[in-house]
Structure 1
Amino acid sequence: MLLGELNPGDRQKIMTLCTIDVHARDVVSKLIAQKVGSCLLRFVNNDHLRHSWDEEQNHCFINICDTQFRYSYEYLGNTPRLVITPLTDRYFIS
């Protein structure tokens, strides 16, 4: 899609989705390369922002470290995203 004709707003949306998806792919690849087992997986995976859907509450939750927030559908706008690095990951955690 990025190689095709897109208006500036749509191009920005697709670029943002690509940035976030590539980061998620890199996190999973890192866990696989480190051969992380189930207990260690929980520890290593805790420092990444995760979204989950709770069927009982019929709502989305955001998890990071040992904290859980109810997702309130905050509008972040259609803005550019920096490449997500370990440094920017630490920034989001703090």
Structure 2
Amino acid sequence: MVSLSPVILANDPLPAETIQEADTLCHRAGDMLMCTSALSGAMRRNMPLDGLEAAIMQIADEARCTMQAAVRIGETIAMLKARAAR
């Protein structure tokens, strides 16, 4: 098992950016949880379909952004792992 610190190069911004992106991912997940909870409540209160459609589109957009961020983090981790293997 290799941690990040031995493979970080001097002045390498990638790990810091990746950690920041992971923090953002955490916040996005929290936002999405709140949006889905609000959607569930709106459905129980018979919110008009236009409002439900707008809410689910926002959740879907957030999910796409979250997935893209997770892929970027995974790519960076794979690069760092390859660097550590050298």
Shorter-chain TM-score range: 0.3 to 0.5
Report the structure, 1 or 2, having the larger strand content.
1
- Structure of higher RCO (CA pairs closer than 8 Å, 6+ residues apart): 2
Q: Which has the larger radius of gyration?
A: 2
TM-score, with structure 1 as normaliser: 0.35
Report the structure, 1 or 2, having the larger helix content.
2
